[in-house]
Structure 1
Amino acid sequence: MICIKAFAFAALGLVAGMTSAQDAPQKLRSIPLTAGMHVIQAEVAITPEQRAIGLMHRKEMATNNGMLFVFEEAQQQCFWMRNTLLPLSIAFVADDGTVVNIADMKPLDETSHCSAKPVRYALEMNKGWFAKRGVKAGSKLGGLK
């Protein structure tokens, strides 16, 4: 009986710890990507948990920083902005680095923004980053492989 209570208490503490961790921005390993002559430092969200948290709870992000979401296989990918405080632009990217489409997203908005076709990657940057640098559908990103 004591072991079960101790286990239940420990599990409750673990869940509470996970809840508070979700209220804080995550910091992930970053890799360099290129968009033409522009270098991006992209944090990489690979696991379902990392992708679910994404850029939530961030109050700021450096100009050339972003988050790259990597999926196991190409599918239509959709994103929303729950608990995301920054206005963002998202580029949906094919396996070969070709930008399929770009969408602008408003902070704290739960409207879905989806890829126009199946993709394995999505790159979130500060809103307007792609447009200011002439990156559009058909442009290529380097450094994904």
Structure 2
Amino acid sequence: MRFKDKCYTLVAGEMDYYAAKTNCRSVGGKLSDIISRQHYLAVMAYIRKLIPESTNEIDVWTAMTLMITTGKVRLSNWKTATFTSWYPGQPTRRDFNRRYIYLRVPRTKSNKQGMVNYYMVSKLTGALCVTTDNRSGSRR
């Protein structure tokens, strides 16, 4: 998927945060931030199209982190995010280890979708990667 001057790729498969970073590097990219409302909507629509019929939702790692003490979201460049769209009941700020943010994406558009902060060792179902070249698509 292209958005502005970058390409976004969903790398699917069970992985923790470290494996997500490694998987993104293997396709020539890095874990992606969500930079705006328009970007969020485009990413959600892109991922939703790739969810198999047999699956209700997928959870996809991003590069963003939650600053537990302030409640602010930090992008991979250490700047504060100007946009967030939290899953209902999120963010959870009671545990300092739940600072890594993923996207919960249901197969059909729903009010139960958005950003979740969680543990980096948790196994999720994918990673959203970004590159500046023409590679985009899904890697399974």
Under TM normalisation by the shorter chain, which class is it? 0.3 to 0.5
Which structure has more relative contact order (CA 8 Å, sep 6+)? It is 2
Higher Cα Rg, which structure: 1
TM-score when scaled to structure 1? 0.32
